[in-house]
Amino acid sequence: MEARILQSSPSSCCFSSGSINRHRFSSIISPSPNPLSVSFPQKTRTTRVLSMSKKDDNTESLSYKGSGVDIDAGTELVRRIAKMAPGIGGFGGLFPLGDSYLVAGTDGVGTKLKLAFETGIHHTIGIDLVAMSVNDIVTSGAKPLFFLDYFATSRLDVDLAEKVIKGIVDGCGQSDCALLGGETAEMPDFYAEGEYDLSGFAVGIVKKDSVINGKNIVAGDVLIGLPSSGVHSNGFSLVRKVVARSGLSLKDELPGGSTTLGEALMAPTTIYVKQVLDIISRGGVKGIAHITGGGFTDNIPRVFPDGLGAVIHTDAWELPPLFKWIQQSGRIEDSEMRRTFNLGIGMVLVVSPEAASRILGEAKNGDYVAYSIGEVINGEGVTYH
């Protein structure tokens, strides 16, 4: 094992080897033995979905569970962990520090790595790694402070590892946080030749009186969607099944798109930190959901108080060509798409009607792209119109 630990100021890029303790933890578990009141509850969710167009063949519909990922099993694990560490359920874990909270998150990039191995695109996968953690902690209103990475492989290819770490550096730059250090683990016979695995860990800070926790959300609040760059970094077990069924090569042009299929799928995850913190600074933001595994159906309700749900207007934005191709090629039901992918919206802000008018006005002026995609309603779960 080779640890990369920053020895000087956070702006320095000097690392030296040494030994560190490595811990496994979840971004949804409060790091304090005494759970904080700002954690979000898990709720039973129901979904009304639009039906797909009639199938023109007998090809089986692909699903995330059929591809090897069981979201329900993951939810059950969270339920069991909650018995041991009550209060979990948010996108990040909060730890009290004076008049502030430290907010921590951890994640990986899943089987998007398989496509990195196939395409040879390694220089942006580090951006994905940073994005998945910093996008989680910014949902609490936290500004990222620093990031740590874990890079594991059977045989260290220095040139390849450098490309990956360069992406991590780029991601930290986009989120205005320091790459504080990391771990390089060389484990012979553990991974296939030329393959590696990644994990990332981010810590940020937010004043206690500025935490975004969803407690003040009410019926009538507006859902603002910020566009994604593509699939981001979840759902790739299903994506790879779709690619295999389609018969297309990753070098083929994406139907309806302007890039190759491989380039479209490997587009780095959007880092929303600076944009979201800027919007928060002007008031009216009550809750934020990072749309990753679980899609709209599971992630949006995580920020709501009990008794509230959401209606999504599916015509509020245009479904990107990549998601159209995934759904058509995999014959995937609407409900499965909405519980697996971001569908072109990577971050959802729950805001007051007044804040929504301001945000949409700024978007109309060309400051950024944002959509009014729905509203909060009385009830439970997410419905689609």
Which CATH number covers residue 111? Answer: 3.30.1330.10
- Same-domain check for residues 166 and 273: no
**pLDDT on residue 88:** 65
Averaged pLDDT, 151-178: 98
pLDDT tens across 50-67, in order? 333 434 455 788 888 888
**pLDDT on residue 3:** 63
**pLDDT on residue 46:** 31
Query: In whole numbers, what is the pLDDT of the chain averaged over residues?
Result: 86
**Which residue, of 177, 211, 245, is where some domain finishes?**
211
Averaged pLDDT, 176-194: 96
295 in a structural domain: yes
Averaged pLDDT, 303-318: 97
Query: What is the domain-level CATH number for residue 337?
Result: 3.90.650.10
**pLDDT on residue 26:** 34
**pLDDT on residue 367:** 87
> How much of the chain exceeds pLDDT 70, in percent?
84
13 in a structural domain: no
pLDDT tens across 338-373, in order? 999 999 999 999 999 999 999 999 999 988 999 999
pTM for the full predicted model: 0.84
Q: Is the pLDDT of residue 254 over 90?
A: yes
Q: Is the pLDDT of residue 27 over 50?
A: no
Rounded Cα–Cα distance for residues 159 and 151 (Å): 13
Split into its structural domains, the chain has a count of: 2
Which residue range forms the structural domain that includes residue 103? 86-211
- Same-domain check for residues 238 and 131: no
346 in a structural domain: yes
**pLDDT on residue 33:** 38
With a CB cutoff of 8 Å and minimum separation 6, the contacts of 302 are: 40, 41, 42, 89, 90, 91, 289
Which comes out higher in pLDDT, residue 18 or 88? Answer: 88
Q: Is the pLDDT of residue 333 over 80?
A: yes
Q: With cut-offs at 50, 70 and 90, classify the pLDDT of residue 376.
A: very high
**pLDDT on residue 92:** 92
Q: Is the pLDDT of residue 198 over 70?
A: yes
Q: Is the pLDDT of residue 43 over 50?
A: no
22 in a structural domain: no
